[in-house]
Structure 1
Amino acid sequence: MRQTVFAAAFGLTLLLGAPAHAQTAEAEVLGVQVARTIFQAISFDKLIAKEIGGTTDAFGDIKSRPEWNRYLVEAMQEEVRHDLPLFETMFGRALAKDMTVEELRAGATLLADPALQAMIKQAAEGGPEPADRPSRETERLAATSAGRSFLTKLTKIEERLEPLQDEFAVELVPGAFRRFADKAEAGEAARRQGQPPTVK
């Protein structure tokens, strides 16, 4: 089960696209519920800070503005938080197209288990493996036809991510750059007044 959860978490900063089952209102609601449950387990702030604010300096060539990398980290974090409901909806709708209502019902219950939430978090963010095991009810549900099918389909997320990477970037990047520009301009205004630039 751990490998299955890892595969599901691997691409969750992107979006899933897939054709298949006819979409119903119930399936869409369940799909969004599943997507939200998955996203809630992941600290995107930490992932962004690690990716952009770690060893990488996006503005390393501009030595006079060391604060710009911090501006970019905060801008990306803020934009992801702003866009997250939309990403949940997009991801959930894609799940609803690819899964049956029965599979989504099982998935919504499976992924709500605190042990699976911890697995998703660990897979996405690293750190020690969680010690807690899924409950017996979760393990029994995972062994059902709908549970097995849901988990199996989640392992194939990576195959469907690449076609929608551009869609994700189109939604995220412009807003993040606007936020960065606002922060950089505010920093320059503070600099002109002899004040230290700060991240807001």
Structure 2
Amino acid sequence: MPEFCTCGAQLPLDARFCHKCGKPQRDEPEARMLAEESAPVAIPVRLMAAAAAPVPLSFQNPVALRVGLLAAVLVCFTMMIPVVQYMSILWWLGAGYLSVWIYKRRTGQRLNVLGGARMGWITGLLTCGLLTLLFGVLMVAIQQAGGLEALKTGLKDFAIQQSRVDEAIKVLQNPLAILRSLVEMFALLTLTCMAGGALGAKILSKD
């Protein structure tokens, strides 16, 4: 064993550690383990910042995409129910709220009002996409069943006012009217879902 440590301090007999700098003076497993345990562990600042930073709310966020798609499917399902479909605006509002609630449960992240509105916006866009897809499938089915005249004849068997049937047929016969209806639905649905998301973020932030 050396009489002097590398730091220059004189060591007493049988010293296992330097009394000045703490450096082990013997090549023993216990000394090495104690020295390693006493050494501070440096955590990279970049890794800590990356772990703490939340994932932005966008279509690149897989959790937000799945949550928005789930809420969109639920809204489309409720809009197919004959009586419930007349309360579509309430379901759109609820879809935005539901998406924020599910996102918070899955990620543990509390969204502010702007984040809630963005989550509702994602839900609204996905809902519009699904409704447009369903509308396209419906139009193809109508054409294969004989066209709008066959649809008009078939609807006479249901308890639906003839004036409403004629109005719907008139819209379906006009491509510009269909486009205008889709644009109006897109604007109203998206804004309503955004309002529901913002409301959900405001309420859930108090939990």
**Could you say which TM-score interval applies, normalised by the shorter chain?**
0.3 to 0.5
The TM-score, its normalising length taken from structure 1, stands at: 0.32
Rg comparison, structure with higher value: 2
Instruction: Answer 1 or 2: higher relative contact order, Cα 8 Å, separation at least 6.
Output: 1
The TM-score, its normalising length taken from structure 2, stands at: 0.32
